[in-house]
A and B are shown apart, each in its own frame.
Chain A
């Protein structure tokens, strides 16, 4: 049982480049989330989804886009990366109870 899998685990981008982070869950969960965590800080919600085909903004959505075309996948896109987006990104999924988290993607924008 893989749970929540994030791809890639590490990435270095140049300013202005684009990329997509993939989150996949095999638990048939309805809700999925993308967070960012900066050093010494808590998790901040970027975007979330309450079901296939739906997305909503979280606390810090600017500079990011998301898509949930399939129930098991939640994609986070950076269209034009900026150094301020250097962070660790966590994906999570849940149904009506506890959330399960991936191991994170460490992104550096230079």
Chain B
């Protein structure tokens, strides 16, 4: 599975959009980009995933570049409750089964 690189931390003002980048330059054709977040010490929570098209759900939007080597998770109107560690992961739907997390990005939403 491809490795991902994320900035260790980011700040965002409450009510503004939070844009979290992720690099995955070694992604292969059948691998999806997944985003999870972990609030405080809870279990990680799934946010969104995509293959090559941009995706949107009730939580966030996912923008994947045309070459698929990077992506951006967008929280359109960040709230204090969005303060969390955000993980970008790449894996295939029918891969070996491994699911490896990196260090993630700690997003601090400030009033």
- Decide if A and B are genuine partners: yes
Give chain A's interface residues, CB within 8 Å of chain B.
4, 31, 33, 35, 41-45, 48-50, 56, 58-59, 88, 90, 92, 94, 96-104
- Contact B43 A101, beta carbon cutoff 8 Å: yes
Q: Give the most central of B41, B44, B87, B102: most A CB within 10 Å.
A: B44
With a cutoff of 8 Å between Cβ atoms, the chain B residues found around residue A90 in the complex are 43-44
Q: How many A-B residue pairs have CB under 8 A?
A: 59
Query: Which B residue sits closest to A56, measured CB to CB?
Result: B97
- Contact B46 A58, beta carbon cutoff 8 Å: no
- Contact B103 A42, beta carbon cutoff 8 Å: yes
Q: Using known A-B contacts A101-B44, A103-B43, A104-B41, determine if residue A45 contacts B99 with beta carbons closer than 8 Å.
A: yes
- Rounded to whole Å, the gap between the CB of A24 and the closest CB of chain B is 14
With a cutoff of 8 Å between Cβ atoms, the chain A residues found around residue B10 in the complex are none
Name the 6 nearest CB pairs between A and B, nearest first. A101-B43, A98-B46, A50-B97, A43-B101, A96-B93, A42-B103
- Contact A100 B46, beta carbon cutoff 8 Å: yes
| Other-chain contact of A33, B34, B42, B99, B102 (Cβ < 8 Å) | B99
